[in-house]
Amino acid sequence: MKIETIRSEGLAHLSYLVSSEGESMVLDPRRDCDIYVEHARRESVNILQIFETHRNEDYVVGSLELQNRIPSARIGHSAATSFKYGDDKLEDEDTFKIGKMLVTCVHTPGHTNDSMCYVVSDASIGNDPLVVFTGDTLFVNEVGRTDLVDIKKHEEMSRKLFHSLQEKILPLGDGVIIHPGHGAGSVCGGAIGSRDFSTIGYECKNNIWLDQSEDDFVQAKLKQHLTLAPYFKRCEKLNTDGPPLLSDIDPLKVIDVSILEDLMQDEENIVVDTRLAGQFVDGHIPRSISLDFKHMGLFAGWVLFPSNSFILLLTSPTDIDEAAGMLYRVGLDTVIGHLNGGFESWKAAGKSIDSLPIFKLEDIKSQLSYGTLEVIDVRQPHEAENDYIENSIYSPLTTIGEDMTKFPPEKPLVAICPAGFRSTTGASIMKRGGLANAGVSDNGLMEWKKRGYPIKTGSNQ
Amino acid sequence: MKIETIRSEGLAHLSYLVSSEGESMVLDPRRDCDIYVEHARRESVNILQIFETHRNEDYVVGSLELQNRIPSARIGHSAATSFKYGDDKLEDEDTFKIGKMLVTCVHTPGHTNDSMCYVVSDASIGNDPLVVFTGDTLFVNEVGRTDLVDIKKHEEMSRKLFHSLQEKILPLGDGVIIHPGHGAGSVCGGAIGSRDFSTIGYECKNNIWLDQSEDDFVQAKLKQHLTLAPYFKRCEKLNTDGPPLLSDIDPLKVIDVSILEDLMQDEENIVVDTRLAGQFVDGHIPRSISLDFKHMGLFAGWVLFPSNSFILLLTSPTDIDEAAGMLYRVGLDTVIGHLNGGFESWKAAGKSIDSLPIFKLEDIKSQLSYGTLEVIDVRQPHEAENDYIENSIYSPLTTIGEDMTKFPPEKPLVAICPAGFRSTTGASIMKRGGLANAGVSDNGLMEWKKRGYPIKTGSNQ
Amino acid sequence: MKIETIRSEGLAHLSYLVSSEGESMVLDPRRDCDIYVEHARRESVNILQIFETHRNEDYVVGSLELQNRIPSARIGHSAATSFKYGDDKLEDEDTFKIGKMLVTCVHTPGHTNDSMCYVVSDASIGNDPLVVFTGDTLFVNEVGRTDLVDIKKHEEMSRKLFHSLQEKILPLGDGVIIHPGHGAGSVCGGAIGSRDFSTIGYECKNNIWLDQSEDDFVQAKLKQHLTLAPYFKRCEKLNTDGPPLLSDIDPLKVIDVSILEDLMQDEENIVVDTRLAGQFVDGHIPRSISLDFKHMGLFAGWVLFPSNSFILLLTSPTDIDEAAGMLYRVGLDTVIGHLNGGFESWKAAGKSIDSLPIFKLEDIKSQLSYGTLEVIDVRQPHEAENDYIENSIYSPLTTIGEDMTKFPPEKPLVAICPAGFRSTTGASIMKRGGLANAGVSDNGLMEWKKRGYPIKTGSNQ
Amino acid sequence: MKIETIRSEGLAHLSYLVSSEGESMVLDPRRDCDIYVEHARRESVNILQIFETHRNEDYVVGSLELQNRIPSARIGHSAATSFKYGDDKLEDEDTFKIGKMLVTCVHTPGHTNDSMCYVVSDASIGNDPLVVFTGDTLFVNEVGRTDLVDIKKHEEMSRKLFHSLQEKILPLGDGVIIHPGHGAGSVCGGAIGSRDFSTIGYECKNNIWLDQSEDDFVQAKLKQHLTLAPYFKRCEKLNTDGPPLLSDIDPLKVIDVSILEDLMQDEENIVVDTRLAGQFVDGHIPRSISLDFKHMGLFAGWVLFPSNSFILLLTSPTDIDEAAGMLYRVGLDTVIGHLNGGFESWKAAGKSIDSLPIFKLEDIKSQLSYGTLEVIDVRQPHEAENDYIENSIYSPLTTIGEDMTKFPPEKPLVAICPAGFRSTTGASIMKRGGLANAGVSDNGLMEWKKRGYPIKTGSNQ
């Protein structure tokens, strides 16, 4: 029995390939599924099952994609949702034999009604549970969100989650290893620990959610305000109906400067600049959106829409497949390709270059008091719950595209965030949206606070 | 100026990527065109032009495929044929500037009416021609075939070729380097030398075709009998109309034994066994066709048809892309995938295994004299022109599928070829076609002659 | 916190690279240590510590090797042994801070007196132990051997191990994950489970060694008879003194047939044939030793000696580094290189080829009863404890080189083992040792029993 | 017959691997010889011969290195020099048979007395010469230098070269392909063309050196002033005696910041910063030398010395082998390793950072006229022959280390070169040498001239 964890950065999505004696299962595969196919080929392993832990919201699941490559693999997910694809509609206590593993399905409603955990026993030894794949039900140091199915059912779902955890998961026993659906950095939990594994025994001692009464648990859940990206609904629908196959989309093109200029004539085409935020600020192709490579996996779903098409600007051409994969994972299939030679070739061709003004924190502080400048606070909701710069306008990346119609176009608009990545993305969106005065701060909120600049307590929402 | 030669084994097809100062051209790209795209990405080179030397017959050209990946690349080919795709309809003496290279088109009818050679000068130095890409007009030690356009015009085309060579190519001067469209092993020439380059000076001294009078040249051409594969016509049509894009076909699947059994229920699906011929003889999946990896690039076009679909049996799973590529290159797009785990997994599953009987040369000799066995001579036409085993039935791989309806089904049918690769392919075709008595010899014709066994002089056709 | 398991096949040796926040530690590195160096480079991770779980016997540890590449890494091992190298002499309860991990040393004598386990807490969460690296103290489904330090102290060490397990490891709590020093297939335990991880909770329920009284535990240990390879002593000494650096040995050479023939003139040079056993039986270079690639990691230490030098015969030239690594890991540093072109080039050069006679089980059975043939039983001790072929000579691979001087040279000598790998190795050793009548059986002991051929109960030792 | 060109960037050194029918030869191998070994392994090709075209000056030849890996390969070089290693002392017209190639040695004194060209015929076709490997005798658009053996024999060697070219090379015939020992960018010729191949016919028409009378040729050669790097003498000696083996030197280490600080205590250890010149100017580790990755292959030999040891600062850790190789190629064997995490880790550790002042061209112009600033002209001799900035101090990189003791330490010292790479290297050398006022210009000489700033005609030497 061997467990391979596949981590998709940005989304902090964890999928698993679990093998025993030449047979294997994949849990929650991602859409760019070559990694599982290559494994199956290389090891001559037969993938018998693809299990989904629930109808995911923050990424498009790759089950159909993987089945299209490995037709013997059956797709299983909970019978509680009417999925329009898949082979096995799973009920609580359904079991599967894969190599020397016995896999038992455990229905754990809460995060969704169709949440399913998969408990694995090592049948070569006995029946005791050894590992549980918990999806978005239980994370390291956190538990699943309960606000996504329907905000009106927030309490009901929280209560369900409490029961699922207490009655289905914890009783598996302290010695059971936990492999969750997300790691640190995911928006699917508030404070997921920076580890991709744990044990039930360890979580019982350390995860504060597991040591509360039902009512305390529910009350605490109701107070959690987490990022709600519009693309979640899109993913939910795709994941219920079955997403389109990537093999049906066009291959990635290598674009030269002249073709890029042609493409840029069409408003629907967007240049996505994946270089470091600082490089973008210094100089960029006009109207491009800044999404640095390291963070684009997370932010792409928040700020880009499938009605557009995308041309990528890369630091290294070998990043193309990973960069495109990050868009595919959130249902942005219309990736045209990348600019050959990157920003250097644009510059070498003598094309016009834009930049963003940089505002110093000290100037922001003074100008803000005169009202001659606006600060746009682009943090996530849970970051903006406790304190904020007075008079700053709250507009997270998930809504800035709509919000900005209300920003005063005549004033300097300075995006601000804790460290500087999201503010650059935010400023690039404002600029593309017609706000010529958009800019960034030379430093983030962490520095603002460190300097003792005025901060207001309370929520900025 | 840098010339990269891309050799597609089997077909011995040579394509070229020629660069100068960040710009480049590709000549006669193959269909599985990642190799050019990767190069352009890695080197940030701008592919400006794709040049075709003529409407090829023995493979499907990858021009549209490459343009689909690199949209700035223009496709150029002779105006003498009404291609249904492409951007530049070229005339004699048309010129192109690519980096510091000056490319001059030279119309050289003969092999086809649209044959075009491309002469390159190093413009950083001067105008003298330095390199000529000769396509199928001039090879190392050989010249192009003149029988393919229309066997009725064999003489006319031969005469054209003579003039093209003598008046267009040789006058370029001794010091010009030659890069042809095919190397040794191709069916596009009789005795192409085992080098991929030459010079005009060298060929003038050593290539016997260049030192003949027009009439001698034409007479010698008319006597050449080369392999005429039915798939040539298919490729010609695809290459005139523009072949379909590989990105539109299904991705390659990883098939397990049970799925393979399902697929084998359908007569249209064929297992192509790419292992060594000897391994196939010892044991193979029933009704599979033997095409060993090293030779399948050449023979696949001769014996497989696009009305079928193919499942590959590989020695190593990492060969899948190359193996599928070899089929795509000859227009066999319906490759389903490969059997995961190869022949070992079939055997391990306890499925039925077939083998081919092996006949010893000494037994063949004696039985042949009693008429109790038939020898099927599967050599290419030019190999079978001078001698053969008396009473052997001539049936090259290009026609054995049709011929075999006339073979006596009740007798042992022993395929024979010079070394043993084609005979195994031939026997596997006969067996699949219902001739249960098909088998192979333990040794080839080369050994037969070495032993002094009876050989009849003359053509076996 | 991220744990990467590096499995060295054959030896089933598990080493670990454990990282947190840009810092990391390596546990029991192997000698061919590029894999850790590459990781550190690629991830810009700072390897602070190399921890050894004990003075290993079955492989040469790579601590000095790794430190030579990464000079900032400190080597730590138990103060209980007078290691002649290393930086930290560890005592029970010593702690280290690596990234956000707290590592606590736990002294667990038993397998050796210097056995040390390393307990890791996630300091970003709290102090609870989460993972324990157990070396050869506790395996999945097994516990460490207690016979290696000194067979006279077998009982004493067993008793120590009992106390270490019960008082140091199990009290860590059910929810602690176990990462041991060896996996299934290692000779360091009798029946190690086919998993590389477990938890204390799981082992408490399922590992029979943990549920016994001290006396029962000790008695059971005393009855265990495991492979005792002479090379263990060599490794122990190297691992106490500090092994030589691989960077000081000659680079691997590419040998052609003529150079190989020269080398073969010297008795000290041995050709190691890593092809499949069946291929070796059919034909091999005279006097070569059969060690098929898949098993050589385990068997090389048993049958080869550092006083010899080795030329490898490979199926694929890309295996050279892995194959040489398998020899280096057991202290066989004198690897000259490999024969270019493999066995095919030897054959093509027309050199003499040897083969091994194959005896059918039915013939062995009858001839054995007439005394006209000898069966050499090459199984490991614990395999030969319960039954054997009557009149067979017991001689495991670890001693066959010495034993064979007593075999009757005039009779056919048929090596036998359960499946066929070791018997081929054994026969090749006998043949090289001058026993011209050495051969193999066509099938193993598993088949012998299945057929109901006569088996004698009891130990064959 | 297949020719593979291996280009070592920077030095623009061309080596060749030429194969036919499973046998091959290597011409002028480089020291980091894995590339040839891998080829031999992968293709199962037998390297029979290593040929040196002469005792090279600008790099250390890898013949012994390669022979150490492939012991069957014989080393051949001219009998005209008393090499202390090698197997074949070659004379004019010696021949070798390698596969189907006939190789004829042609003695062509001029660049050195032991210069040897190797003419190859395709023996499968006939005896006509087809390719000539010309070493440093004949380049594309250039001929070899004649000043290196002994500047006092400049005329004598020039005369020899004339005769070698006219009597030995050109008579081979127009249709012979030329593969020289260096490409564009090498200091072994003045204006080598940006191609790695040519033909005799083409060069006869276009290479001005081939169309002159003996006296004109000699006079023109005497006027050529090319870079004379002190390390040439070192390489000559190594290449005569046989250089040490790289396998005897320490493996490359991964250094962390604390170890680097320790190493920097020792004056002999130098940090070589391979980042872009602009990044170095902005911020660098104190006392480090700037040698950007793209140019270090060429400049390393000019400014570094084997009495020092080197720690590399890389942009990407995967560049380590190539970067170290570039030092090994010029006999700088004492490469310690690279700083893990690069400049970022130095910065993150809060260590002190140095930068270089940047002087604007307009300020340089005005200050120069007041004498308040010195311009250090670091161009190569042939670049500084025709014009220069008045009052600038000429000091090429090859001598700046010694010259700088004479520069006025109290004034700003602005290094200048055509584009900006060498000036940064020059300034870093001055700074390390104690000239605290060293800096760079914001633009190079090309821009200076474009702006019409004052330039003096004549030589700056």
Question: What mean pLDDT do residues A102-109 have?
Answer: 98
What's the pLDDT score for residue D188? 86
- Render pLDDT for C239-262 as a digit per residue (tens, 0 to 9): 999 999 998 999 999 999 999 999
Question: What mean pLDDT do residues A204-211 have?
Answer: 97
Which residues of chain B does D130 touch, with a Cβ-Cβ cutoff of 8 Å? 198-199, 202
Residue B354 and residue B347: Cα distance in Å, rounded?
11
Instruction: From residue D116, give the alpha-carbon distance in Å to each of D130, D180, D197, D202, D204.
Output: 17, 12, 18, 21, 20
Which residues of chain D does B196 touch, with a Cβ-Cβ cutoff of 8 Å? 2
Question: What mean pLDDT do residues B124-130 have?
Answer: 96
Residue A93: how many other CB atoms lie within 10 Å: 10
The model's pTM is 0.95
Confidence of residue A460 (pLDDT cuts 50, 70, 90): confident
Burial category of B187 from C-beta neighbours within 10 Å (exposed 0-12, middle 13-18, buried 19 and up)? buried
DSSP B4-15: EEEEETTTTEEE
CB pairs under 8 A between A and B: 80
Confidence of residue D460 (pLDDT cuts 50, 70, 90): confident
Residue C251 to residue D68, Cβ atoms within 8 A: yes
Q: Minimal CA–CA distance to C448: which of C328, C341, C368?
A: C368
What's the pLDDT score for residue B435? 97
Where do the domains of chain B lie?
2-236, 249-348, 358-457
The arrangement of secondary structure in B249-348, i.e. its CATH architecture, is 3-Layer(aba) Sandwich (3.40)
Q: Minimal CA–CA distance to C59: which of C118, C107, C14?
A: C14
Residue D176 to residue B197, Cβ atoms within 8 A: no
Helices (H) and strands (E) in chain C, counts: 15, 26
Average pLDDT along chain B: 95
Which residues of C touch chain A, with CB atoms under 8 Å apart?
1-3, 20, 100, 122, 124-126, 128, 130, 141, 173-177, 193-206
**Strand pairing report for C198-199 and C387-388:** unpaired
Cβ atoms D119, D167 nearer than 8 A: no
- B424 membership: H or E segment, kind and range: helix B421-432
What's the pLDDT score for residue A187? 87
Q: Which of the 8 DSSP states describes residue B412?
A: -
Residue C316 and residue C339: Cα distance in Å, rounded?
11
Q: Which residue of A has its CA nearest to C127?
A: A206
Asked, colleague to colleague, whether C2-236 and C249-348 share their fold, the answer is no
Positions of chain C with pLDDT under 50: none
- Render pLDDT for A171-187 as a digit per residue (tens, 0 to 9): 999 999 999 999 998 98
**Strand pairing report for B269-273 and B289-290:** parallel
Burial category of B223 from C-beta neighbours within 10 Å (exposed 0-12, middle 13-18, buried 19 and up)? exposed
Residue B293 and residue B273: Cα distance in Å, rounded?
8
Residue D447 and residue D461: Cα distance in Å, rounded?
22
Helix ranges (DSSP H) in A253-410? 257-264, 277-282, 293-303, 320-329, 342-348, 361-370, 400-403
Asked if pLDDT for residue B187 goes beyond 90, the answer is no
Q: Minimal CA–CA distance to B332: which of B298, B308, B296?
A: B308
Residue D317 to residue C254, Cβ atoms within 8 A: no
- Render pLDDT for D175-233 as a digit per residue (tens, 0 to 9): 999 999 999 989 888 788 889 999 999 999 999 999 999 999 999 999 988 888 989 99
Residue A437: how many other CB atoms lie within 10 Å: 18
Residue B442 and residue B445: Cα distance in Å, rounded?
10
Return the partners of chain A (3 or more C-beta pairs < 8 Å). Answer: B, C
Mutate to test the interface with D, among B132, B141, B142, B194 (most CBs of D within 10 A): B194
- Render pLDDT for A369-392 as a digit per residue (tens, 0 to 9): 899 999 999 999 888 988 999 999
For A335, residues 6+ apart whose C-beta sits below 8 A from its C-beta are A252, A309, A310, A312, A324, A327, A328
Instruction: From residue A130, give the alpha-carbon distance in Å to each of A172, B280, C255.
Output: 9, 45, 50
Residue D321: how many other CB atoms lie within 10 Å: 11
Confidence of residue A459 (pLDDT cuts 50, 70, 90): confident
Class of B358-457 in CATH = alpha beta
Q: Which residue of D has its CA nearest to C254?
A: D70
CB pairs under 8 A between A and C: 85
Residues in chain C: 461
For B41, residues 6+ apart whose C-beta sits below 8 A from its C-beta are A254, A317, A318, A320, A340
Average pLDDT along chain A: 95
User: Taking the mean position of all CA atoms in its chain, how far away is CA B223?
Assistant: 22
> SS3 of A196, please?
coil
Mutate to test the interface with A, among B26, B47, B87, B254 (most CBs of A within 10 A): B254
Q: Minimal CA–CA distance to B99: which of B47, B4, B43, B21?
A: B21
Burial category of C450 from C-beta neighbours within 10 Å (exposed 0-12, middle 13-18, buried 19 and up)? exposed
Cβ atoms A108, A164 nearer than 8 A: yes
What's the pLDDT score for residue C188? 86
What's the pLDDT score for residue B188? 86
Asked if pLDDT for residue B367 goes beyond 80, the answer is yes
What's the pLDDT score for residue D190? 77
Mutate to test the interface with C, among D254, D315, D335, D345 (most CBs of C within 10 A): D254
CATH of domain B2-236: 3.60.15.10
Residue A1 has its nearest CB partner, among C125, C194, C199, at C194
What's the pLDDT score for residue B63? 98
Q: What whole-number percentage of chain B has pLDDT above 70?
A: 100
Question: What mean pLDDT do residues A430-436 have?
Answer: 96
User: Taking the mean position of all CA atoms in its chain, how far away is CA B288?
Assistant: 22
Confidence of residue A336 (pLDDT cuts 50, 70, 90): very high
Which residues of chain B does D2 touch, with a Cβ-Cβ cutoff of 8 Å? 195-196
Asked if pLDDT for residue A85 goes beyond 90, the answer is yes
Structure-block tokens of residue A371: 């009202």
Question: What mean pLDDT do residues D41-45 have?
Answer: 91
Name residue, tokens 């276009």. D206
Question: What mean pLDDT do residues D42-71 have?
Answer: 96
What's the pLDDT score for residue A382? 86
DSSP B299-368: HHHHH--TTSEEEEE-SSGGGHHHHHHHHHHTT---EEEEETTHHHHHHHTT---B---EE-HHHHHHHH
Return the partners of chain B (3 or more C-beta pairs < 8 Å). Answer: A, D
Residue B253 to residue A40, Cβ atoms within 8 A: no
Asked if pLDDT for residue D245 goes beyond 90, the answer is yes
Residue D175 to residue B199, Cβ atoms within 8 A: yes
Q: Minimal CA–CA distance to A279: which of A375, A185, A347, A338?
A: A347
What's the pLDDT score for residue D356? 97
What's the pLDDT score for residue B249? 92
Structure-block tokens of residue B30: 């193959």
SS (H, E, C) chain D: CEEEEEEECCCCEEEEEEEECCEEEEECCECCCHHHHHHHHHHCCEEEEEECCCCCCCCCECHHHHHHHCCCCEEEEECCCCCCCCCEEECCCCEEEECCEEEEEEECCCCCCCCEEEEEEECCCCCCEEEEEEECCEECCEECCCCCCCHHHHHHHHHHHHHHHHHHHHHHCCCCEEEECECCCCCCCCCCCCCCCEEHHHHHHHCHHHHCCHHHHHHHHHHCCCCCCCHHHHHHHHHHHCCCCHHHCCCCEEECHHHHHHHHCCCCEEEEECCCHHHHHHCECCCCEECCHHHHHHHHHHHCCCCCEEEEECCCHHHHHHHHHHHHCCCCCCEEEEECCHHHHHHHCCCCCECCCEECHHHHHHHHHHCCCEEEECCCHHHCCCEECCCCEECCCCCHHHHHHHCCCCCCEEEECCCCHHHHHHHHHHHHCCCCCEEEECCCHHHHHHCCCCCEECCCC
Cβ atoms C130, A202 nearer than 8 A: yes
Cα of D289 to nearest chain B Cα, Å: 28
In this structure, what is the dihedral angle of CA atoms D400, D403, D407, D413, given to the nearest 10 degrees? Answer: -10
- Render pLDDT for C224-233 as a digit per residue (tens, 0 to 9): 888 889 899 9
Mutate to test the interface with A, among B26, B33, B44, B338 (most CBs of A within 10 A): B44
Residue C174 has its nearest CB partner, among A124, A126, A175, at A175
Structure-block tokens of residue A271: 């240049």
- Render pLDDT for C428-447 as a digit per residue (tens, 0 to 9): 999 999 999 999 999 999 99
Cα of B2 to nearest chain D Cα, Å: 7
What's the pLDDT score for residue A448? 94
Buried-state track C417-426, b at ≥16 Cβ within 10 A, e below 16: bbebbbbbbb
Which residues of chain A does C199 touch, with a Cβ-Cβ cutoff of 8 Å? 130, 174-177, 199, 201
Instruction: From residue C82, give the alpha-carbon distance in Å to each of A106, B310, C137.
Output: 53, 65, 20
